[in-house]
Chain A
Amino acid sequence: MRPTNEVKLTFLSRSANEGFARTAAACFAAQLDPTLDEVNDVKTAVSEAVTNCIVHAYPDKLGTVTMRLRLFEDNTLEILVKDSGVGIPDVEKARKPLFTTGGDERSGMGFTIMESFMDNLKVRSQPGKGTTVIMRRRISRRLGI
């Protein structure tokens, strides 16, 4: 299935960009006329994915984070968040609730939140090369007012 619209954003792994990324995703998703709840879910999931890049992918340096947003005809929003950071040695373990390498400043719930707020989540990672997260959410169609 080909996307009906697409944007790609690349930004530095600064924590100030967490707010930028989720707001940009919400603005792009607005084309699908989402409910407020759907917008909030998308913003939260994006925030988790981007925060992971900032905290874990580039722990001691700044790197680049790429976010690609796509819309499909069936009202699906696809969000890809990619870094070229340290990678995750064991993705399955990292996805488990409460697992974190970030100490008690992190809750270990990032992937759990992404999973529960989106319809599906794929994580690909190669240690030393980086991590790509792809998540999809179908936005409900609403009758015009």
Chain B
Amino acid sequence: MPISCVEEKQVLTVRLTGEVDHHAAKGLMAALAEEIDTALPRQLELDMSGVTFMDSSGIAVVLRSWKRMRELGGAMVLRAVPPYAVKVLKAAGVDKLIEIK
């Protein structure tokens, strides 16, 4: 699961690509945690435009980053989320916790 990051004015944008399932989740969680703890951003933006599949493992990935950002006193938004991933996030009520742009 490749991720790519851009940091500007304390906003860390991380682009996720590929299939976000249990097989990919562990590596993804570790990579995201490292990026967040290195950048210590004010805001985390997860760009999900390159996500081709997502199941409930993706919810855990998103929630873990959200918890870390809360601990740091920062905010988090989800961007360019494909419709099938929106459906999974909404089924779990994640849209009530995190803004989906």
Contacts and interface: CB of A to CB of B under 8 A. Distances in A.
Interface of A: 15-16, 18-19, 22, 37, 40-41, 43-44, 47-48, 51, 54-55, 97, 104-110, 112-113, 116-117
B23 A15 contact: yes
User: What is the interface of chain B mostly: helix, strand, loop, or mixed?
Assistant: helix
A51 B29 contact: no
A55 to B, nearest CB: 6
Contact of B56 (A15, A37, A41, A107): A107
A112 B91 contact: yes
A19 B42 CA distance: 35
3 A-B pairs closest in CB distance: A15-B23, A107-B59, A40-B84
Contact of B55 (A15, A51, A97): A51
B91 A116 contact: yes
What's the interface size class on B, roughly? 20 to 34
A77 to B, nearest CB: 17
Given A44-B55, A105-B60, 14 more contacts: A18-B21, A37-B83, A40-B84, A44-B53, A47-B22, A48-B55, A51-B57, A105-B25, A107-B59, A107-B60, A107-B63, A110-B55, A112-B56, A112-B92
A47 B55 contact: yes
Nearest to A51: B22
With most chain A CB atoms within 10 A of its CB, the pick from B21, B55, B88 is B55
A79 B89 CA distance: 23
B60 A104 contact: yes
Given A19-B21, A51-B22, A113 B57 contact: no
A25 to B, nearest CB: 13
Interface string B8-26: 0000000000010111011
A47 B91 contact: no
Nearest to B82: A40
Nearest to A50: B22
B21 A51 contact: yes
Given A51-B21, A105-B26, A109-B91, A43 B53 contact: yes
